[in-house]
Amino acid sequence: MSASDLSGDVCELLDQLNSPEALPTLSLATAALSLETVSDQATLRRFLVGYREHALVPVELPVILRAHGHAVRNELRELLALDHELARDARLREFRVASAVVGRRQLAKLRPLRDQRLVQRYLHAVEAGQAHGWHTLVLGVFFAQYSFPLRQGLLLHGQRTLGGFFDAAVGTLRLSAATAAPLLADAVQPLVPAVNQLLAGSLSEELSVVR
């Protein structure tokens, strides 16, 4: 399998994140995060910001980063513990089904990597019902296995997740995509410093451990 094939698989996984089956409905997401019902451009703006601040930045991006680290260090036990930790997070209750649908499908694509013991054992745990296969966790494993640039991957995940909700809302509310586009741009812009801060914090922790 070539490097271009691997990058293509990662991009395919990211593309899955803004498909209807990969995201909870707007009503479920707003209920899960105690946000306003999306009914117009103003509430859509607040939803995108709220999702970014309550789920994407504090939960999803750190999970991808942690899963990536466990995969790089071949830490299966820690990876499974992270999987179970997410199952206990009340903020993710409404996202479980959608997350598992995408995560399990994409994890199965790693089956041919027979020499990757961590991947095979995690896949076995998911298929045996001993793990959930969260899409964010699987995404971190993908980034590690394919040596995909982590900063780029985190930003793409954030952009495409917010973009998926945006597209769903624009269609439901019958808004003009061109008119509403600045809402998405404003919601996405803070992701760059957020990702930079997350990676800087992770690097600082690694350096402190080494010292």
Length of the chain: 211
CA dist., res. 56 & res. 164, Å (int)? 13
Q: Are 95 and 21 in contact (CB under 8 A)?
A: no
What tens digit of pLDDT does each residue of 101-140 get? 777 777 777 777 666 788 889 989 998 989 988 888 988 9
CA 123 to chain centre: 18
3-state secondary structure of 56: helix
Q: Which of 104, 142, 127, 121 is nearest to 10 (CA)?
A: 142
Instruction: State pTM to two decimals.
Output: 0.85
| Helix locations, the chain, DSSP H | 3-16, 26-32, 41-51, 61-72, 76-87, 96-108, 117-127, 135-146, 150-173, 177-188, 191-210
Give the number of other Cβ atoms within 10 Å of residue 21's Cβ: 10
What tens digit of pLDDT does each residue of 42-71 get? 999 999 999 999 999 999 999 999 999 999
Domains recognised in the chain with CATH numbers: 3-210 (1.10.4190.10)
Give the number of other Cβ atoms within 10 Å of residue 62's Cβ: 16
Confidence of residue 210 (pLDDT cuts 50, 70, 90): very low
Half-sphere exposure of 180 (CA within 13 A, CB side): 22
